[in-house]
Structure 1
Amino acid sequence: MKNIAKYIVIASLVSSAWACDDLFEPAIENIMDENKMDTDPRYVDQILGSAYILMPYPGVTGENNSDNRNDVATDDAVSNNIDNAYLTMATGGWTSRTGKSVDNWRDRNASIQFVNLVLKHVDNTVFANDEATNAMFRDRLKGEAYGLRALNMYFLLQNYAGLDASGELLGVQIWTEPYTAETDMNVPRSTFAQCMERLLEDVRNASELLPYEYSDAASANDVPEKYKAIGATLDGYNRVFGASTFLRMSGRIAQAVGSQAALLAASPAFSNGSGVTWETAANQAAAVLDHIGGPAGLAKNGHIWYSDSEVGNAPTETVSHAEVIWRSRHGENSDIEKECFPPSLYGKGRINPTQNLVDAFPMANGYPITESEGNYDSSNPYANRDPRLALYIVTNGSQLGINNSVINTGVDAGNNDGINKESGHSTRTGYYMRKLLRNDASPNPTSTVNKNHATTYIRYTEIFLNYAEAANEVWGPTGTGGHSYSAYDVIKAIRKRALGEGVEGGDRYLESIKGNKEKMRELIRNERRLELCFEGARFWDLRRWNSDLNTLNSTARGVSINGSSYNYIDVETRDYKDYMIYGPLPYDDVLKFSNIEQNKGW
């Protein structure tokens, strides 16, 4: 049996990647009986804060930040850290006892326990002396709880949904009430469709209770009518829903989570039994995108949201980049640079992009490098390429760091930046990651330069790509399904942003395939690979697409450069089995609870 105290203790032991306990006063620290929530409004907020602390996103600070990124378990990257858990998974060591899945199961269920506690007690708690402000506090906290429960269900389904021995698509157990010492935990998993029904209902509840985004209302006229009707004042509304609440779950974030979940459910690996169609997935994404005018609202510099100029040196905690739907607090550090810069810049070079990923970037005119119209030059392979290649990946001869140092990744490098040097921090593929790093930060221990960083949890480009994928499947490349934009319109905007205005003759490759649903699907998936690289998308994308074993087991490749000679090499083989389209439930839980059935193959 599990009990409430156990899960409250978990929160006190987990380090906060977001440091979101800073949002709660006083800090989360005491272990008290749950009924204290009825008389102590701060305790309700602290319990909800425990759910935030357990959110499933990579941290922006701390050692081994790069080890949280599952890209190194795909054909997009490898790690030079031999102890990396995803490296172990990708090379044959993924079992129901290993990998990141065990911790994720515990944390997601613990987080749901916290939000269920809040939902149980929040309407008994007095948060303010006046009735209107009290009602608004209750609405906000309930809305946050519903949104966080949907978020946790999405990640549980992504990690653990799968086929049972009979071929039925199962989800996870659905908990809508908090556990007690008497709760029978030995209950079977619900179907995937039942889990999605619960998730989308939570998204709807959160969207109804929360403002679309938190900001201070300028006048009493801006207070929503439903709160005016019960006597809410401008000061009271801003106290509850104002800018000071900016980084917490909002209606916009809840709808974005709904888009992520609906895309997962409509995808080939889950569509037979999810109850969710491509049309539903497209509409879920459009619900978010319509607020910014569709493709016209695509952030101009959204593909470089993490750069020095876009993060800025003095961001506020109540304003985000136009690309960002949800992010962490900013933290001033150089931790991720320490993990991922090349050795000459005092980094460990942990994430090494593959030749596979490099080859996925098209030419500057939009054509794949395999098409003759692209004019790819194998003797000068990085020339005239899609600008995103240089933005996201350090290639041989690239400049990086405060002093724009030239990085030599070849075998003839005079330092440890070269491929397969003995330092343990050199590249294994001939490439280093540039994306997510700030060029103006430095982990040099004698003259460290720290800069503001933030982890972006959800951004608009992902939702645009969600829409493009779903819309293409249900309405074809140029169909709109009643919306004002198509999959083609979205991809045109994304590629125009990346390639610039100066592509001679326009994006001729896109124009050549816009009438072909299969070619458009291939392009959308490749754009997703490029735009979301190193953001943890591809590992799950390959699985929800029900990719075959040849794709899952694509050998990670690199390049050994010596002068003007390019020798393409195999770096790391993948060893996935066909049942690994779906992940395993933790071994200990399946062993402990006889009614929890493991996914087929595990």
Structure 2
Amino acid sequence: MKIKMNIKLAIMALVLTTSCSDLIDPAVENIQRKDLIRERPSMVQGLLLNAYLRIPTNSYNFSEMATDDAVSNDLDNGFLNMATGQWASNFNPADRWNSANSAIQYLNEMLMEVGNTEYASKPVVNQMFMDRLTGETYGLRALFMYYLLQAHGGLAGGELLGVPIFLEPQTVDSDFNIPRATFEACMAQLYSDVEKALELLPMDYYNINNESLIPSKYREEGTGVNDYNRVFGDDAKQLVSGRIVQAIRAQASLLAASPSFNLDNDQTKWADAATYAGNLLNDIGGVSGLDPNGVTWYNNRSVIDGLGAGNNPPEILWRGSVGGPTNNLETQNFPPTLYGEGLVNPTQNLVDAFPMANGYPIGDPASGYTEDTPYANRDPRLAQFILLNGSTAGPTGVSINTALDSDTNDGLNKVETSTRTGYYMRKLLRQDVNLDPVANTGQRHLQPRMRYTEFFLIYAEAANEAWGPMASGSFGFSAYDVIKAIRERAGIGADNGDAYLESVKSDQAAMRELIRNERRLELSFEGFRFWDLRRWDADLTETAQGMRIENENEYSVINVENRVYQDYMIYGPVPYSERLKFSALQQNTGW
């Protein structure tokens, strides 16, 4: 009892000798006032870092599991529930509203604060830092506007709307109840941010060794090579550059030109998208710049393992850090016999989208496809991207048996980590990862935010719509040239000159379907299919199918999972919680 009384007296003494403000206010180390933050350049740049950390492509989310390309073997998976009828404005695994708007808030704070801090004592170097940081900020704000439009733009009350446009940081006194701007106004703001970023940023970051390479506006102020490299040199690689900003513009322009967001089929929007992508590709030599090793970019071991700090392989335009050694992707997606969870199960729908090696779709009489040997003489990418029955996998080359009567847990529906479709994902995974608990080893992985193949496909899609399959606008290559190069790289048509491509090269509609299919294959499992189907106003309800194999060679296609979407779901919803708070927000039709 005496001990308790002494403790109470000690606490009272502490309270009496401590001011009220010390008890209530956070410690200085925890929350910095703006005037103190401005004295620390690294803390100001932390505003920018907060936006970088919110980029959706920092990791894979496998939204393909909500499409006809894949299913999940985790029955609690959000995309599975979304695809099977639970998608709603208060349940949206594809939501980007809060994360993107939070990023924009930080970016708007950055624009307000960037000029209030000294980054270097030399005035011209200080100006270069401010220019770079401001350019990065505008570029990222354009990027997050693109993500918002992709996820939440749509028809509301007969009008195509985007999102509220915020150009200044919001405070407790701000009016948060702002209506959505039109889709066109949002695109205009995005393009404005792009132009401001391009005025301030170099095309690429790298160390120079000659003063003649310094822009005149800095050279005339006395900037030397060392000063320039300090700001725009190798240490800045993987920050937003002029090239990345051009790529953001190409992505956004394709969205704006697509059927769901181009209701009048304005051909100038297709031409704009082709031009923006074409300009980007011209800088790497056009079609000749297509990386010959770009199909297996995720498993080019010597390239990945030898990659220097900040450097990119030819296929990668922008990436996050090279993680390693890690095994997270393999833990998620290796089949059970390789100690994996088999999460992403490719569908028969996707398997059927791969043509034969001669280039013909499997449904074409000229293809040579037979149901008795469904994987023979197929597009080489099929076996590179999807683990088929009988494929070898893992560091020791284990044969994977996905049949219904398999004697391992890799078989169809054997255990909860088994495949539901008869297939496992192979793409993105390094087969030299070992998950055996006795000899566990990880490897380095590339995590691209943007690959050049995406922009070749953007160009092909837009150029075909704007000018037709064979025309090249102001560029020296056409949609046909791009698709021919991509298919040649994949190993298609080596024996027959890709006769199927030649048969459709003068047919815009047939070329459109081929381009869309090539995009489906080349960008599979990288988070594109869900968004592509919706921007194309395509069928979202194709049942996800699989393959049941018995007695070694008896093949039968099975229905695995229905896709339950309504027509209005080509546009995503405004979050229910936001509409409860802000009456000015108009919901997209149907939600």
TM range (shorter): over 0.9
- Within the alignment, does 1:57 sit opposite 2:57 as a pair? yes
CA distance in 2, matches of 1:264, 1:315: 33
CA distance in 2, matches of 1:242, 1:280: 31
Q: CA deviation at 1:310?
A: 5.8
- Within the alignment, does 1:215 sit opposite 2:206 as a pair? yes
1:379 matched residue in structure 2: 372
Q: Would you say the 8 A contact 1:546–1:581 is kept in 2?
A: yes
1:546 matched residue in structure 2: 537
2:428 matched residue in structure 1: 436
CA distance in 1, matches of 2:196, 2:265: 21
1:336 matched residue in structure 2: 329
Q: Would you say the 8 A contact 1:286–1:467 is kept in 2?
A: yes
- Within the alignment, does 1:113 sit opposite 2:105 as a pair? yes
User: Mind listing any 5+ residue stretches in structure 2 that lack a counterpart?
Assistant: 1-28
User: Mind listing any 5+ residue stretches in structure 1 that lack a counterpart?
Assistant: 1-28, 60-64
Q: Would you say the 8 A contact 1:159–1:583 is kept in 2?
A: yes
Which residue among 235, 240, 258 is the counterpart of 2:249?
Answer: 258
Q: CA deviation at 1:483?
A: 1.2
Q: Would you say the 8 A contact 2:304–2:446 is kept in 1?
A: no
1:13 matched residue in structure 2: none
Q: Would you say the 8 A contact 2:329–2:429 is kept in 1?
A: yes
1:426 matched residue in structure 2: 418
Q: 3-state DSSP class of the match of 1:446?
A: coil
Q: Would you say the 8 A contact 1:267–1:544 is kept in 2?
A: yes
Which residue among 568, 574, 590 is the counterpart of 1:585?
Answer: 574
CA distance in 2, matches of 1:476, 1:580: 30
Equivalences for residues 253-332 of structure 1 within 5 A: 253-272=244-263, 277-309=269-301, 311-332=303-324
- Within the alignment, does 1:88 sit opposite 2:76 as a pair? no
1:12 matched residue in structure 2: none
AA partner of residue 485 (structure 2): A
- For each residue in 1:401-440, what CA deviation from the matched residue of structure 2 results, as whole angstroms up to 9, or x when unmatched? 100110000012111100001x210000000000000011
Q: CA deviation at 1:346?
A: 0.5
CA distance in 1, matches of 2:134, 2:531: 30
1:98 matched residue in structure 2: 91
Q: CA deviation at 1:58?
A: 4.8
2:556 matched residue in structure 1: 567
2:405 matched residue in structure 1: 412
Q: 3-state DSSP class of the match of 2:56?
A: coil
1:595 matched residue in structure 2: 584
Q: 3-state DSSP class of the match of 2:483?
A: helix
2:31 matched residue in structure 1: 31
Equivalences for residues 353-368 of structure 1 within 5 A: 353-368=346-361
CA distance in 1, matches of 2:32, 2:279: 40
Q: Would you say the 8 A contact 1:193–1:273 is kept in 2?
A: no
Q: 3-state DSSP class of the match of 1:411?
A: coil
CA distance in 2, matches of 1:274, 1:242: 43
Farther off after superposition, 564-573 or 120-129: 120-129
CA distance in 2, matches of 1:596, 1:318: 42
1:42 matched residue in structure 2: 42
Q: CA deviation at 1:32?
A: 2.3
AA partner of residue 522 (structure 2): E
Equivalences for residues 193-204 of structure 1 within 5 A: 193-204=184-195
AA partner of residue 368 (structure 1): P
- Within the alignment, does 1:522 sit opposite 2:517 as a pair? no
AA partner of residue 187 (structure 1): I
Q: CA deviation at 1:30?
A: 4.8
Q: 3-state DSSP class of the match of 1:567?
A: strand
- For each residue in 1:232-264, what CA deviation from the matched residue of structure 2 results, as whole angstroms up to 9, or x when unmatched? 111111110111111111111111111110000
Q: Percent identity?
A: 51
AA partner of residue 271 (structure 1): N
Q: Would you say the 8 A contact 2:58–2:320 is kept in 1?
A: no
Provide the aligned C-alpha RMSD in A. Answer: 1.4
AA partner of residue 565 (structure 1): E
| Residues 1:413 and 1:567: Cα distance change in structure 2 (over 3 Å) | same
AA partner of residue 31 (structure 2): I
What TM-score, normalized to structure 1?
0.91
Larger radius of gyration, structure 1 or 2?
2
Q: 3-state DSSP class of the match of 1:152?
A: helix
- For each residue in 1:498-540, what CA deviation from the matched residue of structure 2 results, as whole angstroms up to 9, or x when unmatched? 026x712311111111000000000000000000010111101
What TM-score, normalized to structure 2?
0.93
Q: CA deviation at 1:273?
A: 7.1
Q: 3-state DSSP class of the match of 2:548?
A: strand
| Residues 1:301 and 1:178: Cα distance change in structure 2 (over 3 Å) | same
Q: CA deviation at 1:44?
A: 1.4
Q: 3-state DSSP class of the match of 1:99?
A: coil
| Residues 1:581 and 1:140: Cα distance change in structure 2 (over 3 Å) | same
- For each residue in 1:438-472, what CA deviation from the matched residue of structure 2 results, as whole angstroms up to 9, or x when unmatched? 01112222211110012111110001100100000
Q: CA deviation at 1:35?
A: 4.1
